[in-house]
């Protein structure tokens, strides 16, 4: 593929940290993980950062920590119908029930106007997703949460460095989560992080990710539901280099995203794209688009771009009605019309730092050729 979703290049700093772990004959959670947590928190100003084995595990730990704050098994967590499956899977894995809410076509994010109607006496939290690095509209969401006494989890797995009204995403709600998969702006190969400003929640997160033991306790005292969700020192070694390069990575990917938007301005009659508003800073995770006219055939466009060497993925779709994994919940087609439309007509491709301008021009030319010929 000429244009992939991400590329991992391991440099000298990461190799030094990897060698340090090897020399200690200890590659499970150790000094590199502690340093990675410290540096991640410092880079974005998060008071506490807790490393996990994946972004999905960060989501599970975030959800499961709610038990220590009064939630009960079977309670509901409101979440967008459209997202990567990890959000709904994490809610289920932690013993909660996802209550899906439709999204906005313009933002790909949960529709704040539909949240309040989804709240019941079993609602424990709202789990928003900053989809494709576009911040969700957090002010009305936080107002709803305060009014109903609900916790807020921000899935920022695709949104490293994104800002909403001058605040980094992940710092607005009670807990923020991140992923360090290869397509993301900070990459460990695998790995995740949960952040919070609450010392109580930090201790709950550390306990949940280590089998429910008290944080820092080596004895078999299992106080709550937990999993083995620890990051290892090899992953953290790679991530430490990614953190040191983050400002440059962020700048380059922002430039790539803006360049792609400029190059595809003349395609606005064919596709919806994400526009950045004055109150926000989009994290350049990928380049998403949604067909305005379904007759242009998303699947045909997908294959066309893939054949040209541009790796594509769909825009997730409606988890409760377009993915068999959630059919057991009994939802029916038509319940989430916007998510379902995006699921049938949306796709995205990468804009990672190692692309060059020729690659971006090539992608725009291929898009233009498709629509002019279809």
Asked if 199 and 173 touch (Cβ cutoff 8 Å), the reply is no
Structure tokens at 73: 């098994």
Query: pTM of the predicted model, to two decimals?
Result: 0.97
Asked if 316 and 347 touch (Cβ cutoff 8 Å), the reply is no
Would you give the DSSP letter of residue 2? -
b (16+ CB within 10 A) / e for 328-341: eeebeeeebebbbb
CA distance 359 to 330: 44
pLDDT tens sequence across 296-326: 999 999 999 999 999 999 999 999 999 999 9
pLDDT tens sequence across 203-245: 999 999 999 998 776 678 999 999 999 999 999 999 999 999 9
Residue matched to tokens 């539909």: 114
Structure tokens at 257: 């995203």
Q: Give pLDDT, residue 49.
A: 98
DSSP code per residue over 232-257: -HHHHHHHHHHHHTHHHHHHHHHHHH
Q: Give pLDDT, residue 204.
A: 97
Q: Give pLDDT, residue 25.
A: 87
For residue 193, which of 215, 174, 170 has the smallest C-alpha distance? Answer: 170
For residue 124, which of 83, 146, 89, 152 has the smallest C-alpha distance? Answer: 152
Q: Give pLDDT, residue 217.
A: 66
Could you give the domains of the chain? Answer: 12-244 (3.40.640.10), 246-373 (3.90.1150.10)
Cα–Cα separations (whole angstroms), residue 112 to 68, 101, 151, 372: 27, 9, 15, 37
**Number of Cα atoms under 13 Å in the Cβ half of residue 11:** 10
Question: Which residue numbers in the chain have pLDDT < 50?
Answer: none
Beta strand spans in 75-161 (E): 76-80, 97-101, 123-129, 151-155
**Number of Cα atoms under 13 Å in the Cβ half of residue 355:** 32
The partner residues of 49 in beta bridges, in order of sequence, read 195
Which residues carry out catalysis?
184
Asked if 280 and 164 touch (Cβ cutoff 8 Å), the reply is yes
CA 203 to chain centre: 23
CA distance 76 to 115: 13
Structure tokens at 369: 């050729």
Pairing outcome for strands 175-179 and 151-155:
parallel
Q: Please name the residues in contact with 204: beta carbons below 8 A apart, sequence gap of 6 or more.
A: 65, 68, 69, 224
């Amino acid at each position: 593929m000429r244009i992939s979703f991400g590329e991992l290049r391991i440099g000298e700093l990461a190799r030094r940290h990897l060698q340090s772990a090897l020399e200690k004959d200890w590659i499970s959670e150790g000094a590199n993980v502690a340093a990675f947590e410290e540096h991640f928190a410092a880079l974005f100003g998060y008071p506490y950062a807790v490393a996990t084995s994946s972004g999905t595990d960060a989501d599970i730990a975030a959800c499961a920590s709610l038990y220590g704050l009064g939630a009960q098994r079977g309670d509901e967590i409101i979440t967008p119908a459209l997202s990567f499956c990890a959000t709904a899977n994490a809610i289920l894995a932690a013993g909660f029930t996802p209550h899906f809410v439709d999204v906005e076509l313009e933002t790909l994010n949960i529709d704040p106007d539909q949240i309040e109607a989804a709240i019941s006496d079993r609602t424990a939290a709202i789990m928003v997703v900053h989809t494709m690095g576009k911040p969700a509209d957090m002010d009305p969401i936080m107002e709803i949460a305060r009014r109903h006494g609900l916790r807020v989890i921000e899935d920022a797995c695709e949104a490293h460095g994104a800002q909403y009204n001058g605040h980094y995403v992940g710092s607005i709600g009670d807990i923020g989560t991140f992923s360090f998969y290869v397509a993301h702006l900070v990459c460990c190969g695998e790995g995740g992080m949960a952040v919070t400003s609450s010392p109580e929640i930090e201790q709950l997160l550390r306990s949940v990710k280590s089998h429910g033991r008290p944080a820092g306790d080596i004895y078999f005292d299992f106080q709550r539901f937990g999993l083995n969700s620890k990051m290892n020192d090899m992953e953290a070694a790679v991530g430490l280099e990614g953190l040191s390069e983050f400002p440059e990575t962020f700048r380059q990917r922002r430039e790539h995203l803006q360049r792609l938007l400029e190059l595809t301005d003349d395609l606005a009659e064919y596709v919806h794209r994400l526009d950045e508003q004055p109150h926000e800073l989009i994290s350049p995770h990928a380049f998403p688009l949604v067909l305005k006219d379904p007759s242009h055939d998303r699947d045909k466009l997908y294959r066309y771009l893939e054949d040209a060497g541009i790796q594509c993925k769909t825009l997730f779709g409606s988890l409760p009605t377009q993915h068999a994994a959630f059919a057991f919940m009994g939802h029916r087609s038509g319940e989430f019309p916007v998510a379902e439309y995006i699921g049938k007509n949306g796709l995205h491709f990468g804009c990672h730092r190692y692309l060059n301008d020729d690659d971006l021009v090539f992608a725009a030319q291929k898009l233009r050729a498709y629509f002019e010929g279809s």
